[in-house]
Amino acid sequence: MDSKYASISAENAKSANKRKHILSINKLNIKKAKTPLNATHIKISPNNGDINVKKSDHEAEKTAISEDIQEARKKLPVYAVRNRILEEIRKNDTMILIGETGSGKTTQIPQIIHGARLEGAGAIAITQPRRVAAITIALRVAAESKTEVGSIVGYTVRFEDVTSPRTKIKYMTDGMLLREAIIDPLLKAYSVVVLDEAHERTVSTDVLFGIIKIAQKERTEKKLTPLKVIIMSATMDVDTFSKYFNNCPVIYLEGRTYPVTIFHSKTPHEDYAYAAVCTIFQLHSTMPFNHDFLVFLTGQEEIESVIYNIKQIAKSAAGPPLKLCPLYAGLPAGKQLQVWRAAPAGARKVVLATNIAEASVTIPGIKCVIDTGMVKERTWCGGTGAERLRVCRCAQAAAWQRAGRAGRDAPGRAYRLYTARDFQGRAAHNAPEIVRCPLAPTILSLIAMGVEPNTFPLINAPPADSVRTSLNLLRELGAVENVDTTPTLTVLGKKMAAFPIDPKYSKILLSAPEYDCLDEALSLVAILSSENVFHAPMHKREEALKVKQKFTSPLGDHITLLNVFKAFCKATLKKQWCKENYLNHKNLTYACEVRQQLLKICQRFNLNVSSCGQAHEQVLKCLLTGLFSNCAWLREGAAVGGARYVTAGGVPARLHPASALLPARPPALVYSELLHTTRAYLVTASAVQANWLPGGKRAR
């Protein structure tokens, strides 16, 4: 047994004091396979150990329905051992807390801390990798504590702050806490920071680990209020983390509310989306109607096409009516939250989600998870600046998280559309994002905090060439100097760091007054910071394309987006107008809010908000001040494999089929994104002239 581990369970809470140093390996291990349940799945019992509250389906359902929210809280494993947890938190400045999915870590730990007023004069920050989780959990915890969200319990996500000076429990995206650290690296507003879902290893969380380590040390040295740090997950690599945090204790919380039974496919499926549709209907014909389903797919288009297929089949299928709810990052926030509403009486809710529903969230009513085992992953090539989007198999940790979305208000089932052997062969955890993402925004933030990026203590160091490329880009943007010795921010760089956007785009805003186009640049950057504003339902694609023509500019996609935004601002009945024009009302409204916030920062710097009117070339020239490295040139001679362009980084690519430039192919382009799916595409592109580039340069 290892002395740095302690185990707490409802059963041993009282005696735990005496047997503090126990290693409890009571994680989500599947132990044994049982006989096949039906033609396509093998049933495997999860390892419930002796800690599951075993209830029959019927009993559990009755409990979930009849008990009020407070009673449900008291049943959570975390609640039962709250005094022991408090003791551990009091004792340790840093600790790792591992507990099964649904055991109550995210919702209860902050309430337990606040209940004992352990945070003192400061607040408790709880970070989430995803926006939707931060919002829905804050709403739930506010309801549990019988307060309005925004008072004692609040949330902060990019461009949305629902907190007040009274807020003590603040759910926030990891990116937002990182931004706060730029202003105050010691995070003095907080006495407790909880880094939740640590296994996801987003860049922001990884950087926060380092920031918090430094802040903790400095606060102690300066005799300020100590900073308590709790790192939480159901499925993380504890040894690496404990080592990183100076061998801090790891507390295992035993127990889960309801068991989840896992089923694996007997044979592999070639077409996982097709297998998902088949499984939905197989279960639909046998499961009680109040068992809602959550299906994990990889992206918006796939979700839309699966929904289309389900609708066709449902017309003649047996079973209750289906309420189909998509859930992906690009979906307007209001529509995302619809997923949390109950299905109409007598209907079954089927949520079709990407991995944004994978961790932290509780969607009430979900009793069956259908896991395709696939995920769309973004990787980045530092050398060429190309982003690659590829569909790949998710890690084991992700599969456990997905299964954990069931069994939260009653016993659940998870159907994995891949074999047990396939599962066993998968990586235990995802590769940390920091080793596969563009780092310029993170490095700019670090330097703004006064941290030397080359010596910053990260759990996993990013590839050296990725750091070098990002530092060089920041130098070319004019944000950083002395990149080879001690990188420091220039006056311009300090201003750039004040914007919560990619430095390429903050540079555009700060350059815009020179081109007399800050008015347009603000709108454009706001719209590029939002999700897709065009909304073309599958069955109306042709019509939507026709309508789009009226906004299309021969100069390309950026001015087309600007035209959309201007027309949206002028429209009186905005919702109706968006519907008629196949535009996404929520995303455009969001872009307006983003614009307001960016405008406020510009006003702080006394920038002149003038408009270039119809002189749109000014906007494109201004774009090049930030996107100079995102240029592509038409190839001379024949296209290679259909790719007609070559980027400044030397990547052969083609214009995205949705580009307003097509069918024309201007000799030079600026683009917002270079995306690899099956091919390399230039996304959101506009025509430019080579002599507009700073110094007339053609390629770096």
Ligand X SMILES: Nc1ncnc2c1ncn2[C@@H]1O[C@H](COP(=O)(O)OP(=O)(O)OP(=O)(O)O)[C@@H](O)[C@H]1O
Applying the rule CB under 6 A, the residues between 85 and 104 that interact with ligand X are 99, 101-104
Say whether residue 411 binds ligand X (CB under 6 A).
no
Closest approach, Cβ 340 to ligand X, in A, equals 6
Helix (H, G, I), strand (E, B) or coil at 538: helix
What is the C-alpha to C-alpha distance for residues 575 and 551, in angstroms, rounded to an integer? 17
Closest approach, Cβ 85 to ligand X, in A, equals 12
How far is residue 138 CA from its own chain's centroid? 16
Helix-helix angle 616-627:557-570, to 10 degrees:
120
One of 46, 110, 404, 666 touching ligand X (CB under 6 A): 404
Say whether residue 130 binds ligand X (CB under 6 A).
no
Q: Which is nearer to ligand X, 76 or 177 (CB)?
A: 76
Closest approach, Cβ 358 to ligand X, in A, equals 9
Closest approach, Cβ 158 to ligand X, in A, equals 21
Q: Which residues pair with 160 in a beta bridge?
A: 157
Which of these segments, 174-182, 276-284, 304-312, 401-409, binds ligand X (CB under 6 A)?
Answer: 401-409
Strands 228-233 and 94-99 come out as parallel
Q: Which is nearer to ligand X, 400 or 515 (CB)?
A: 400
String of contacts with ligand X for each residue 340-379, x by CB under 6 A: -------------------xx-x-x---------------
Helix (H, G, I), strand (E, B) or coil at 338: helix
Say whether residue 46 binds ligand X (CB under 6 A).
no
Closest approach, Cβ 401 to ligand X, in A, equals 7
Closest approach, Cβ 75 to ligand X, in A, equals 8
Q: Which is nearer to ligand X, 98 or 675 (CB)?
A: 98
Q: Which is nearer to ligand X, 105 or 291 (CB)?
A: 105
Q: Which is nearer to ligand X, 107 or 597 (CB)?
A: 107
Which of these segments, 105-113, 348-356, 416-424, 512-520, binds ligand X (CB under 6 A)?
Answer: 105-113
What is the C-alpha to C-alpha distance for residues 172 and 593, in angstroms, rounded to an integer? 19
How far is residue 26 CA from its own chain's centroid? 28
Q: Which is nearer to ligand X, 99 or 299 (CB)?
A: 99
Two tokens, residue 566:
């201007």
What is the C-alpha to C-alpha distance for residues 686 and 677, in angstroms, rounded to an integer? 21
Reported as half-sphere exposure (CB side, CA atoms, 13 A), residue 323 has a value of: 18
Applying the rule CB under 6 A, the residues between 199 and 258 that interact with ligand X are 234, 257
Return the exposure string of 625-655: e unless at least 16 CB atoms fall within 10 Å of the residue's CB, then b.
bbbbbbbbbeeeeeeeeebbbbbbbebbbbb
Q: Which is nearer to ligand X, 107 or 336 (CB)?
A: 107
What is the C-alpha to C-alpha distance for residues 426 and 394, in angstroms, rounded to an integer? 8
Q: Which is nearer to ligand X, 171 or 209 (CB)?
A: 171
Closest approach, Cβ 76 to ligand X, in A, equals 6
Which of these segments, 306-314, 404-412, 495-503, 658-666, binds ligand X (CB under 6 A)?
Answer: 404-412
Applying the rule CB under 6 A, the residues between 579 and 608 that interact with ligand X are none
Using alpha carbons, select from 470, 496, 495, 492 the residue that is nearest to residue 483: 470
What is the C-alpha to C-alpha distance for residues 687 and 700, in angstroms, rounded to an integer? 19
Two tokens, residue 319:
């079973």
Two tokens, residue 311:
């609708």
Contact 447, 499 (CB under 8 A): no
Q: Which is nearer to ligand X, 76 or 215 (CB)?
A: 76
Q: Which is nearer to ligand X, 234 or 483 (CB)?
A: 234
Closest approach, Cβ 105 to ligand X, in A, equals 4
Task: Give CA separation, 615 vs 212, 424, 515, 668, in Å.
Answer: 48, 59, 10, 19
Say whether residue 108 binds ligand X (CB under 6 A).
yes
Say whether residue 659 binds ligand X (CB under 6 A).
no
Closest approach, Cβ 121 to ligand X, in A, equals 26
Q: Which is nearer to ligand X, 234 or 622 (CB)?
A: 234
Dihedral class, residue 488 (left if φ above 0, else alpha if ψ from -120 to 50, else beta): beta
Q: Which is nearer to ligand X, 65 or 224 (CB)?
A: 65
Contact 434, 242 (CB under 8 A): no
Please count the residues of this chain forming the interface with ligand X, following the rule CB under 6 A. Answer: 21
Closest approach, Cβ 408 to ligand X, in A, equals 3
Closest approach, Cβ 35 to ligand X, in A, equals 29
Two tokens, residue 64:
């979930």
Beta carbons within 8 Å of 428's beta carbon, 6+ residues apart: 237, 395, 396, 397
Element (H or E) spanning 413, and its range?
strand 412-419
Burial degree of 214 (CB within 10 A; 0-12, 13-18, 19+): middle
Applying the rule CB under 6 A, the residues between 254 and 293 that interact with ligand X are 257
Using alpha carbons, select from 451, 495, 489, 463 the residue that is nearest to residue 212: 451
Closest approach, Cβ 103 to ligand X, in A, equals 4
Q: Does the bond joining 77 to the residue before it have cis omega, within 30 degrees of 0?
A: no
Q: Which is nearer to ligand X, 101 or 205 (CB)?
A: 101
| Amino acid code (one letter) for 246 | N
Closest approach, Cβ 367 to ligand X, in A, equals 12
Reported as half-sphere exposure (CB side, CA atoms, 13 A), residue 363 has a value of: 36
Q: What is the CA radius of gyration of the chain?
A: 26
Contact 41, 413 (CB under 8 A): no
Q: Which is nearer to ligand X, 182 or 357 (CB)?
A: 357
Q: Which is nearer to ligand X, 359 or 525 (CB)?
A: 359
Say whether residue 107 binds ligand X (CB under 6 A).
yes
Closest approach, Cβ 640 to ligand X, in A, equals 47
Helix (H, G, I), strand (E, B) or coil at 468: helix
Strands 386-393 and 374-381 come out as antiparallel
One of 119, 200, 206, 409 touching ligand X (CB under 6 A): 409
Backbone CA torsion sign across 229, 233, 236, 239:
positive
Helix (H, G, I), strand (E, B) or coil at 562: helix
One of 26, 106, 163, 684 touching ligand X (CB under 6 A): 106
Q: Which is nearer to ligand X, 89 or 509 (CB)?
A: 89
Closest approach, Cβ 250 to ligand X, in A, equals 16
Say whether residue 136 binds ligand X (CB under 6 A).
yes
What is the C-alpha to C-alpha distance for residues 632 and 413, in angstroms, rounded to an integer? 50
Closest approach, Cβ 590 to ligand X, in A, equals 23
Closest approach, Cβ 361 to ligand X, in A, equals 7
String of contacts with ligand X for each residue 49-78, x by CB under 6 A: ---------------------------x--
Q: Which is nearer to ligand X, 72 or 347 (CB)?
A: 72
What is the C-alpha to C-alpha distance for residues 99 and 27, in angstroms, rounded to an integer? 8
Interface ranges with ligand X (CB under 6 A): 76, 99, 101-108, 136, 140, 234, 257, 359-360, 362, 364, 404, 408-409
